[in-house]
Amino acid sequence: MTRPTAIGGNMPQVPVVVEGAPPLTPALDTPKRVRRETLRQIVRSPTFVVGAIVTLFWIVCAIAGNHIAPYDPINDSFTPTYAHPTWAHPFGMDRVGRDVLSRVLVGARSVLEVAPAATLLGVTLGSALGLLMGFFGGWVDNILGRIVDAVLAVPFIVLSILVLTALSAGSEGINVSALKLILVIGIAFTPIVARTVRSAVLAERDLDYVPAARLRDEKAPYIMFSEILPNVMGPIVVEATVRLGYAVFAVATLAFVGYGPQPPSPDWGLQIAEQYADVTLAWWAVVFPALAIASLVVAINLIADTIQQVFDE
Amino acid sequence: MTALAEPARATAALAVRDLEIAYRVRGRDREVVRGISLEIGRQASYGLVGESGCGKTTAALAIVRYLPRNGRVTAGSIEVAGRDVLALRGEALRRYRLNDVSMVYQNPGSAMNPSLRVGRQLAEVFRLRGATRSEAHERSLAALREVHIADPESVLRRYPHQLSGGMQQRVVIAMSLATNPELLILDEPTTGLDATVEAEVLELIRELQARHSTAVLFISHNLGVIRKMCARIGVLYAGELVEEGPTEEILGNPRHPYTVGLLRCIPRGGLRKDRGRLDTIPGFLPPIGASLPACVYVHRCALAQQVCHDEKPSDHPVGPEHTSRCHFHDRAQELPRATADVPAAVPIDRGGQALLELEELAKTFRQDGHEIKALGGVSAALWPGETLGLVGESGSGKTTLARTLLGIVPPTSGSVRLEGRVLPARLGERAPRDIAALQIVFQNPDSALNRRHTVRRMLKRALVKLANLRGKACDDRARDLVEAVRLPERALSTRPMALSGGQKQRVAIARAFAGEPRLVICDEPTSALDVSVQAAILNLLVDLQSSKRTSYVFISHDLGVVRYLSDRIAVLYLGRLMEFGPAETVFEPPHHPYTEALLSAVPTLEGEQRPRIALAGEIPSAANPPTGCVFHTRCPRFLGEICMNEEPPLLEDEPGHAMRCHIPIEELRRLQATPPPARTATRM
């Protein structure tokens, strides 16, 4: 791990002093102890705590939203429609008289069943691709690199709409299952992750442990996945958390333009899409789902920030 | 007495009194500097030595008021030219740094801004002091001329990365002296440089110090360098000055057990492995912030008595201006050895089959259509249990030779034979047992050990792949290996981060030895380590060699170390063997003119002042090597036409000793009784 240097790269290294280590021998830290220390550093950060609490809240909603929500988000209907927030319905009513609070709570599910899976797919594929490009270099890097550039040149929203429309060919109307969303967002994220991982691998490839592995007759897959991969996990984890935030955003955006859950689903993006024309009439039916998206994205980014800081130290 | 001392004090360039510095780590202040007092008179030079981590750089940074954010001066005072440095704030501090003090760091490459041209960075110093643009330009040129840069106009237009390390350091020195500072702090200024370049930079510093009447605080771990540069030495240990005095006194008559131990660790005076092992200093430097109420050195001192654990020693005067912070300063030199003084080498039988034979091994790299001849036909042979030392400046092809031999980079032509069999050029085509037979210990263990793997995992993987061991046999061997390199068994479950530099290098050695190698290439394995650790590693290498009859190819720029370990030595220059022969023969005249210059450049502890032979310019680019003898552009014994047109053959002048020079050996013997005339043609 590199320590921050101020001038000339020659600042004294401040060794990590471990409490309770026997004096006069360098502390022989076990990996477990180091991991625990990293974890402690993350957990102690207030930004992380705030982010984690908010994220956890939405995860609970995604899993058990139906039980938490005071009303049925789809079938319970009250009059008048677009009623103001009241004590009984703190977030008010939507255009067909459903409780907005209940819909917001239950709506977490459709986002949270797609975003993490899509992120996982994108990070896995991207890491593999980045490892290949960085490790082999040369023509492998050139060919894969051009493909990555080509994919990145197409705006995300255009790319995903194109693919989703193509995937719906043959069936009636637009048919977007969660699985398709996962595939599309995951593949759209792959080149971005691949670039980050590639540059991290390039730095690692020049270190002597790589020739040292070759001098043990190790084959390329072992060197890539057992030697280099653990050393680029830092950037990968950081990238994954950042991507997760974007994935939430992407799911909501696609749902807003109609490529996602269909009515009467309480999906956040869909709720906004259905009611944004009436925002002057009933701001609460649009603002609360929007706030839900924002809070989840910001919370995930707070977590990402903390993890990045800890890994950068 | 006091009346006389007072004015002297007021005019001292630097006066540090009872300086204490702490770093705040995890909410606690941890002491790094524990009360240093020292004084440097105007124009004087003072050397600060000690192991890494003892507070040298921290003290220097406090003097320029540039401690890291978590560092703080907790007590004491610093005065530069009578001015209280610690009281300076804002604009006054800026002016102090601009006018009164300068610091030169170890790595000149990172001391300059890589995206600004040299001219702009240099001119900035003058512009800040109010010079106009054209004045600043003129003065930049003058400053570069002063540091003997031959073509200053073109250097000003270049970016830092376009200059060699030596040139960069000259520019940095020019920059730091541009303001005529009262005090110049040099923090390991030549550590990354070749001996020949180091010698020139040191000479330059001396010359400039006299001209600018600047006081110098010289920080180095290299006692030879300090000896050459400084009149006084302070020995720093765990943030305390344990001994202080005139250079000759400290080196000739050390009175603190730490100084005594430090001096014994250094392979010098032509010491060789067959004459004795190196002494070491057992134990470790206390971690920063450790509570050290009594003597700071007590835990590593073989002379320690109860009083040393109970009572802090005072600075005992032991000679003229020579103090030692030791209760038993009068007995310091009776310090018992930490290692047995037994010769540790095995005799070599050169009658049988050679272990390794290189035949006209050559490597040419291609870069942007240019051919770079990194290695031009090297032939050599190595017998079991023998050490071949490889010396030469950086860029001479030492590392390329090592990598070609291992098959990491395939040679362009020539062959490598192991026990008579020709090895395939590429590593991928070699048989597993041939791969296991040739191993390497890299220079930097931080880079050579996978920081995510535990020591156990690294060693076991090497045993699985190289020795074909599984299960319990593998576990047992891993434990044996750790023991063989003298690491505690609990080191097995740690990752490299938790180990010290020396311990990491031991792990790297253990890994190289996992497959019972026949030859281990040691690529500067101790250059990143402190001398006491270096001694222990060298002892370890010698022990392993004598118990396993392993051969070494030992690459180093430290000629003392090479001499200690090597049976035979190959001197490389621009990828060609210039001289090859038994270590003793190479180190004794007659030398090849290049070897002669290399040897004269090394600052020694003995003080036999050999006149230094300056090499003109720097090592030429391998992309465009000189015609004829590749050394002719810098050769101090240059003959004339013949050297420029004809490459001399590698001729054996006596059995086993060969040289590549047009001057006959007898002529060289006669010539080298006197130093050569200076050659002034400085090339860029």
Closest residue by Cα to residue B362 from B426, B418, B422, B413:
B413
> Lowest-confidence range among A21-25, B432-436, B580-584?
A21-25
Calculate helix-pair angle for A284-312, A233-256, nearest 10 degrees: 170
Stretch B649-671: mean pLDDT, rounded?
A: 88
* Whether pLDDT at B4 is above 50: no
Residues of A in contact with B448 (CB under 8 A): 207-209, 212
Query: What are the backbone dihedrals phi and psi of residue B237, each rounded to the nearest 5 degrees, phi first?
Result: -140, 125
- Asked if B290's CB is within 8 angstroms of A23's CB, the reply is yes
Alpha carbon distance A209, B441 (integer Å): 11
Cβ(B254)–Cβ(B260) below 8 Å = yes
- Please report the pLDDT score of residue A243 as a whole number: 94
Q: Compare all CA atoms of chain A with the CA of B515 and give the residue at the minimum distance.
A: A216
pLDDT for the residue B653 = 82
- Cα B354 to Cα B348, B357, B404, B655: the distances in Å are 11, 7, 19, 17
pLDDT per residue over B561-592, tens digit each?
Answer: 999 999 999 999 999 999 999 998 898 888 89
Higher pLDDT, B349 or A121: A121
What's the mean pLDDT in B188-195? 84
Average pLDDT on B220-236 reads: 91
Alpha-carbon span B135 to B146, nearest angstrom: 16
Q: Is the pLDDT of residue A21 over 50?
A: no
Among the residue ranges A264-278, B69-83, B364-378, B447-461, the one predicted with the least confidence is B364-378
Which pLDDT belongs to residue B538? 92
B404 vs B382: CA distance, rounded Å? 16
**Gap between the Cα atoms of B378 and B400, Å rounded:** 11
Preceding peptide of B611 cis, ω within 30°:
no
Nearest CA in chain B to A7: B111
Q: Select from A13, A24, A27 the Cβ nearest to the Cβ of B498.
A: A27
Q: What is the rounded CA–CA span in Å between residue B340 and residue B279?
A: 8
Give mean pLDDT, residues A22-49: 68
Q: How close B2 comes to chain A (CA, Å)?
A: 38
Q: Cα separations (Å) of B243 from B220, B319, B332? A: 16, 11, 11
pLDDT score of A252: 92
Predicted confidence (pLDDT) per residue in B201-224, tens digit: 898 899 999 888 899 999 998 888
CB within 8 Å: A28 and B498: yes
H-run or E-run covering B145 = helix B133-146
Given a contact cutoff of 8 angstroms between Cβ atoms, the answer to whether A18 and A29 are in contact is yes
A113-158, pLDDT tens digit by residue? Answer: 999 999 999 999 999 999 999 999 999 999 999 999 998 999 988 9
Chain B residues in contact with A222 by the CB 8 A cut-off are: none
Coil, helix or strand at residue B570: strand
Do B53 and A218 make contact, defined as CB atoms within 8 angstroms?
no
Contact A214 B408 (CB under 8 A): yes
Instruction: For residue A7, give the nearest of B66, B432, B466 by CB distance.
Output: B66
Please state the ipTM of this predicted complex: 0.82
ω into B590 cis (within 30 of 0): yes
Phi, psi of A233 (to 5 degrees): -60, -35
- Sorting pLDDT into bands at 50, 70 and 90, what band is A8? very low
Which range among A257-261, B4-8, B676-680 shows the weakest confidence by mean pLDDT?
B4-8
Residues shown for chain A:
313
- Among B66-70, B381-385, B528-532, the minimum mean pLDDT is found in B528-532
Looking at beta carbons, which residues of chain B come within 8 Å of A215?
A: 406, 408, 427, 435, 438-440
CA atoms within 13 A on the CB side of B189: 33
What is the rounded average pLDDT of the residues B276-301?
86
Question: Under a CB-based contact definition with an 8 Å cutoff, are residues B8 and B39 in contact?
Answer: no
Q: Work out the average pLDDT over B24-52.
A: 89
Inform me whether the pLDDT recorded for A24 exceeds 50: no
Is pLDDT above 80 for B459?
yes
Token reading at A3: 């320590």
Nearest to A10 among B106, B498, B515 (CB): B106
Cis? peptide before A73, omega within 30° of 0: no
The predicted-structure confidence for A220-279, as pLDDT tens digits, reads as follows: 999 999 999 999 998 999 999 999 999 999 999 999 988 888 888 899 999 999 989 888
Q: How far is CA B585 from CA B66, B97, B270, B558, B593, in A?
A: 49, 51, 12, 18, 14
Question: How close does chain A come to B163, measured CA to CA in Å?
Answer: 17
What is the average pLDDT across B96-103?
Answer: 91
Q: For residue B161, what are the contacts with CB-CB under 8 A and spacing of at least 6?
A: B109, B114
Distance CA B422, CA B401 (A): 17
- Residues B242-261: pLDDT tens digits? 999 999 999 999 999 999 99
Examine the pLDDT at A12 and tell me if it is beyond 50: no
Nearest-Å Rg of the Cα atoms of chain B is 26
B511/A34 Cβ within 8 A: no
Put simply, the answer to whether B499 touches A218 (Cβ < 8 Å) is no
CB contact (8 A) between residue A28 and residue B494: yes
At residue B199, the 3 state secondary structure works out as: helix
- Residue B477's pLDDT is 93
What is the C-alpha separation between A133 and A137, in angstroms, rounded?
A: 5
**pLDDT for residue B679:** 63
For B337-342, the CB contacts below 8 A with 24+ separation are B337/B264, B337/B279, B338/B261, B338/B279, B338/B280, B338/B281, B338/B282, B338/B302, B339/B277, B339/B278, B339/B279, B339/B280, B339/B539, B340/B277, B341/B276, B341/B277, B341/B279, B342/B276, B342/B277
Q: How confident is the model at residue B3 (pLDDT cuts 50, 70, 90)?
A: very low
Q: Which residues in A lie closer than 8 A to residue B444 (C-beta atoms)?
A: 208
List the single best residue of A2, A3, A5, A10 to mutate versus B (max B Cβ within 10 A): A10
Check pLDDT > 90 for residue A168.
no
Q: In angstroms, rounded to a whole number, what is the distance separating the alpha carbons of residues A185 and A120? A: 10
CB B360 within 8 A of CB B376: no
Residues from chain A that touch B106, judged by Cβ atoms under 8 A, are 8, 10
B447, B455, B458, B489, best to mutate vs chain A, most A CBs in 10 Å: B447
pLDDT band at B654 (very low <50, low <70, confident <90, very high): confident
Rounded-to-integer distance, Cα B552 and Cα B383, Å: 10
Name every residue whose Cβ is closer than 8 Å to that of residue B130 and which is 6 or more positions away in sequence: none
In this structure, are residues B247 and B225 in contact, taking their beta carbons and an 8 Å threshold?
A: no
Place of tokens 């073989």: B302
Predicted pLDDT of residue B639: 85
Closest CA to B563 of B593, B589, B599, B603: B599
Nearest CA in chain A to B52: A12
User: CB B491 to CB A28 under 8 A?
Assistant: yes
Contacts of B450 in chain A (CB under 8 A): 209, 227, 230-231
In this prediction, residue A29 carries a pLDDT of: 54
B-chain CB neighbours of A211 within 8 Å are: 403, 406, 408, 440
Helix axes B118-128, B133-146, angle to 10 degrees: 110
> pLDDT of B597-619, one tens digit each?
888 888 877 765 567 787 877 78
- Give CA–CA dist B332/A85, Å, rounded: 87
Chain A residues with beta carbon closer than 8 angstroms to that of B66:
6-7
Q: Give the model's confidence band at A174: pLDDT under 50 very low, under 70 low, under 90 confident, else very high.
A: low
Give B219→chain A minimum CA distance, Å: 13
Is the pLDDT at A30 greater than 80? The verdict is: no
Confirm if B35 and B73 have CB atoms less than 8 A apart.
Answer: no
**Residue B316 in 3-state DSSP?**
strand
**Band (A22; pLDDT cuts 50, 70, 90):** very low
Asked if the Cβ–Cβ distance from A218 to B30 is below 8 Å, we say: no
* Nearest CB neighbour to B30, from listed A1, A17, A215: A17
**Mean of all residue pLDDT scores within chain B:** 88
pLDDT in tens, B473-491: 999 999 999 998 988 888 8
Nearest to B586 by CA among B501, B658, B647: B658
Between B267 and B519, whose confidence is greater? B519
Q: How many CB pairs under 8 A join A and B?
A: 138
Return the structure tokens found at B64: 């320029």
